[in-house]
Amino acid sequence: MRTAKHPFGFIGCVELRQALDKHALDERELMDRLEEVPPGSVFYHTHGYFLRHRPLTTAYGNDFARWAAVEVRDQALAERLAVVDPFGFPDLELLREELVTIIHDHLRRLNTVPRAELGGAFHFQQSHIVQVELGPLATTLAEFRDGLAAVDASAIYFHMVEARTRLGRPSGDFAEWLRTSLELPALADRIERIDTYMTSLERVRARVLSLVDQALEEEAA
Amino acid sequence: MTRIDDYRQVAPPGVVDIILKLAERVRGRRFLHVSGGRFGGGAAEILRAVVPILCDMGIDTHWEITGGDPGFYTTTRALQAALEGAERVLADEALAHYVEMNRVNAKKLSFEADLVVVHDVQPATLVAQRSDGRWVWRCHFDCSRAQRRAWSFFRQFVAQYEAAVFSLPEFGRRLGVPQYIIYPSIDPLSEKNRELTPREVATILASLRLSQDKPLLVQIGPFTRAQDPLGVVNAYRLVKKHYDVRLVLAGTAGDERESLEVLAELREAAHHDPDIVVLELPPDAHLQINALQRGATIVLQKSLREGFGLGAAEAMWKGKPVVGGFGGGLAQQIISDVTGYTVHSVEGAAFRLRHLLNNPELIARMGTAGREHVRRTFLVTRNITDYLALLIHLSG
């Protein structure tokens, strides 16, 4: 069995949420505030959605779409925002631009600006991620598999989402380690292609495990 | 005493390990909570669960309380009500006395800590006598509609903290310090939430003279108009035309006029219908509340206005669907169509109750989803994780 040049350490995370003093009562205000908030807030309301809404409520894809659907009851805007895959953008500014453009285009076709019901304002937030090193280090694919099966789901989020978008590791930590330390490029490519959008962290874990199991079987054969 | 390992059986897998790892990182740092008392609900109920667990993990954690004379308590009650939006007259002398009493309190307390978390109004002005360490004001209520004058006075103290913590973003106000968001939590191992056998539930309900011979619709909460118990009675009446159910309204009556009026109106309604049961419970009736929620078929929490309010989370932890209003944190707790329904009206509540009674499999499915939602979001283990993250974030 191959042994990694560098061991893999699983890192879980805890999200400390911070309210920003930015609120929107209607869709125009949502668009205006969305242009002003720090990139961390765009990340929180899009990618962070998958850390918070597990496993029951990933129905809207991001907080903006959820707000449009639930608080404003504007299903058209909700659908257009929900389909934006945050993982499909190389940086947060491009994601922000896409979201603002969708809202702008939507408002252009309306005579009145849809407004949230009483008390249903959108409150912009951002988060601070506290990293937590978990479990023993993995030096083989089998050890990696065992670790992955046992770690808290926040580790899946950290290595597959946070690492890619905020920490400048576009392949994600799992694929990067498998490629560079275990020299398993084919498996790394398959894991890198996993669609993390509109699913739960547990499903992402199950998909990675299934690919790793397949690789272990091939190695044994 | 409960220990962190006891929570492995109820918390989501891996969470206790994360907490232990976070605890390792803050070992050697001192954590101090200050509140106005050790008893009752709100901050004290959460601290009674959180502090022993932090100590069990070897974190140097202390919980101090402030005291005062009757004038101090009268002023802090009025100030808190004003900060929650009620009309109150606050005399300058009374406010000065409040500040002075906390100056006296400060002399008796040691603030040697890396992070000092001061809860709610009573001890809030202690910050004027602060020492080293980071100071955070933890606000457990909604101060977004505070009386202007009361807020102007109070804000000068909040501004002296490094940060404030609110239960929801909409509960805060414009401040010059960072505002963090931490949901309150329930302790799944407490008397109010621990597992009870069906036999224990039956025995406790029998002691309340409550029979389980028909489906129980249960609302638990103070007898105030904000909780809309009369609206619940009207919703029940609409349901009763189609289903033979019993309504239980349980809560603690205060000695305020509004509470007594509401209770009298409910008793009048109950007088004409033996299936409306009004239970006045003492403040420490935790086991009875536990049994009532477990014995319920559906739990109502039709509040028009309240603080965060954890009644829905408590009921969902017991596997019950909740039909609730939009007040306070209900919209955060109830995932509509998944763990229950949020409703805007008496008719809406009746419609959802009928829908659930007509689809018993939905009751079971929503109950299961509700328990999982609470497991991930509203258990004390999540609260501890948040506090440790705050300690790490603020004290480096």
The answer to whether residue A7 sits within a structural domain is no
Q: What is the CATH number of domain B198-377?
A: 3.40.50.2000
- Do A106 and A141 lie in one domain? The reply is no
Choose the final residue of a domain: A102, A126, A150: A126
- CB spacing of B339 vs A54 below 8 angstroms: no
Peptide bond into A55 cis (omega under 30): yes
Span B54-66, average pLDDT: 94
CB B172 within 8 A of CB A124: no
| pLDDT tens by residue, A44-55 | 999 887 787 655
How is residue A115 annotated by DSSP? B
Which of A16, A123, A152 is opposite residue B390, by nearest beta carbon? A16
Are A14 and B376 an interchain contact pair (Cβ–Cβ within 8 Å)? Answer: no
Beta strand extents in A164-203 (DSSP E only): none
pLDDT of B80 > 70? The answer is yes
The per-residue pLDDT for range A179-191, each reduced to its tens digit, is 999 999 999 999 9
Domain-ending residue, one of A91, A126, A161: A126
Angular region, B125: left φ>0, alpha ψ -120 to 50, beta rest:
alpha
Residues of chain B contacting A119 with CB distance shorter than 8 Å = 170, 326
Would you say residue A8 lies in a domain?
Answer: no
Nearest Cα residue in chain B from A123: B169
Tokens of A204: 């992402």
Residue A5 falls inside a structural domain: no
CA distances from B339 to A61, A211, B221, B320, B334 (A): 19, 34, 20, 8, 6
Of the candidates B292, B291, B214, B221, the residue with the CA atom closest to the CA atom of residue B246: B214
User: Rounded to the nearest 10 degrees, what angle do helices A201-220 and A141-150 cross at?
Assistant: 160
For B345-380, the pLDDT digits (tens) are: 999 999 999 999 999 999 999 999 999 999 999 999
Q: Residue B255: what pLDDT?
A: 74
Is B18's CB within 8 Å of A154's CB?
Answer: yes
Tally of CB atoms within 10 A around A129? 22
Same domain for A94 and A159, yes or no, is no
* Selected residue with higher pLDDT from A158 and A119: A158
B180 contacts A17? CB cut-off 8 A? yes
Domain range enclosing A120: 14-126
From A14, A70, A150, residue closest to B385, measured CB to CB: A14
A116 shares a domain with A150: no
Instruction: Please report residues of B whose CB lies closer than 8 A to that of A123.
Output: 169-170
CATH tag for B4-185+379-395 (out of 3.40.50.2300, 3.40.50.11540, 3.40.630.30, 3.40.50.2000): 3.40.50.2000
Taking one residue from A and the other from B, the number of pairs with CB-CB distance under 8 angstroms is: 77
Chain A residues touching residue B21 (CB < 8 angstroms): 12, 132-134
Of B174, B336, B369, the CB nearest to A21: B174
Cβ–Cβ < 8 Å for A146, A158: no
Q: What is the pLDDT of residues B163-210, one digit of tens each?
A: 999 999 999 988 999 999 999 999 999 999 999 999 999 999 999 999
Rounded average pLDDT over A75-102: 93
Residues B348/B282, Cβ–Cβ less than 8 Å: no
Q: Is A154 on the interface with B (CB under 8 A)?
A: yes
Q: Say if A9 falls within a structural domain.
A: no
Residues B110, B356: Cα–Cα separation, whole Å: 54
The secondary structure of residue B12, as a DSSP letter, is P
A120-to-A3, A23, A70, B132 alpha-carbon distances in Å: 54, 10, 9, 39
Tell me the two tokens of residue B119.
């809860």
pLDDT at A67 over 90: yes
- The reply to whether residue B180 touches residue A18, judged by beta carbons under 8 angstroms, is yes
Does the distance separating the beta carbons of A154 and B389 come in below 8 Å? no
**One domain for residues A120 and A166:** no
Number of Cα atoms under 13 Å in the Cβ half of residue B33 = 28
Chain B CB contacts of A151 below 8 Å: 14
Q: Quick check: B389 and A134 CB within 8 A?
A: no
Q: Cβ of A134 and B18 within 8 Å?
A: yes
For residue A186, give how far its alpha carbon lies from the nearest alpha carbon of chain B (Å). 30
The DSSP call for residue B379 is B
Average pLDDT over chain B reads 93
In a domain, A202, yes or no: yes
Contact A152 B17 (CB under 8 A): yes
Q: Is residue B1 pLDDT above 80, yes or no?
A: no
Residue contact B22–A14, C-beta within 8 A: yes
Q: Within its chain, how far is the Cα of B338 from the centroid?
A: 22
Residue B141, CA distances (Å) to A138, B9, B166 in order: 46, 31, 8
A153-165, pLDDT tens digit by residue? 899 999 998 998 8
Tell me the C-alpha distance between A89 and B131, whole Å.
47
Confidence of residue A128 (pLDDT cuts 50, 70, 90): very high
Task: Calculate mean pLDDT across residues B22-41.
Answer: 91
Residue A92 to chain B, least CA–CA distance (Å): 23
Measured in angstroms, the CA of A93 and the nearest CA of chain B are apart by 24
**Residues A211, A163: one domain?**
yes
Q: Which residues contact B305 (CB under 8 A, 6 or more apart)?
A: B226, B327, B328
Q: Using the beta-carbon criterion (under 8 Å), do B390 and A151 form an inter-chain contact? A: no
Instruction: Search chain A and give the residue with CA nearest B168.
Output: A19
Same domain, A28 and A82: yes
Q: Max alpha carbon distance in chain A (Å)?
A: 66
Say how many domains are in chain A: 2
pLDDT tens digits for range B11-22: 988 899 999 999
Residue A29 domain flag: yes
Do A72 and A141 belong together in one domain?
A: no
Please write the tens of the pLDDT for every residue from B223-237.
988 889 999 999 999
* A15, A17, A132: residue with CB nearest B21: A132
Q: Can you give the pLDDT at residue A166?
A: 84
Q: Are both A107 and A178 inside the same structural domain?
A: no
Residue B216: which of B175, B264, B249 has the closest Cα? B249
H/E/C letters for each residue in A40-84? HHHHHHHCCHHHHCCCCCCCCCCHHHHHHHHCCCCHHHHHHHHCC
Residues of A in contact with B15 (CB under 8 A): 152
Rounded to the nearest integer, the mean pLDDT of chain A is: 91
Q: Which structure tokens are listed for B367? A: 């109950």
Question: What are residue A15's DSSP bridge partners?
Answer: A129
pLDDT band at A57 (very low <50, low <70, confident <90, very high): low
Distances B349 to A63, A136, B122, B278, B342 between C-alpha atoms, Å: 27, 51, 37, 19, 8
**Distance between B18 CA and the closest CA of chain A, angstroms:** 7
Probe site for chain B from A16, A23, A44 (most B CB atoms < 10 A): A16
Strands of B322-324's sheet in order across:
B276-280, B246-251, B216-220, B298-301, B322-324, B340-342
A132 touches chain B (CB under 8 A): yes
The predicted structure's pLDDT at residue A54: 58
| A182, part of any domain | yes
What local confidence, expressed as pLDDT, does residue B14 receive? Answer: 86
Q: Look at chain A and count its residues.
A: 221
Give the nearest partner residue to A56 out of B166, B182, B338, using CB atoms: B338
Q: Do B388 and A134 touch (CB under 8 A)?
A: no
Tokens of A60: 């809207």
Distance CA A125, CA A181 (A): 37
Per DSSP (E only), the strands in A56-215 are 122-138
Residue A136: pLDDT band by 50, 70, 90 thresholds? Answer: confident
Mean pLDDT throughout B231-257? 92
Over residues B174-183, the pLDDT tens digits come to: 899 999 999 9
- Asked whether the beta carbons of residue B179 and residue A18 sit closer than 8 angstroms, the reply is yes
Hey, are the CB atoms on B14 and A132 less than 8 Å from each other? no
Residues A98 and A195 placed together within one structural domain of the fold: no
- Residue-range domain boundaries for chain B: 4-185+379-395, 198-377
Domain check: are A119 and A156 in the same one?
Answer: no
Torsion of CA B48, B52, B53, B55, to 10 degrees: 140
* Minimal C-alpha gap between A19 and chain B (Å): 5
How far apart are the CA of B67 and the nearest CA of chain A, in angstroms? 32
Confidence of residue B2 (pLDDT cuts 50, 70, 90): confident
ipTM: 0.89
- Chain A residues touching B385 at Cβ < 8 A: 14
Instruction: Give the ranges where B251-307 is alpha helix by DSSP (H).
Output: 257-271, 286-295
In this structure, the answer to whether residues A79 and A42 fall within a common structural domain is yes
Q: Who wins on pLDDT, A84 or A136?
A: A84
Name the closest residue on chain B to residue A71, using Cα atoms. B331
Report if residue A4 sits inside a domain: no
Same domain, A19 and A80: yes
- Tally the residues of chain B: 396
- Last residue of a domain, which of A75, A104, A126? A126
**A72 min Cα distance to partner chain B (Å):** 14
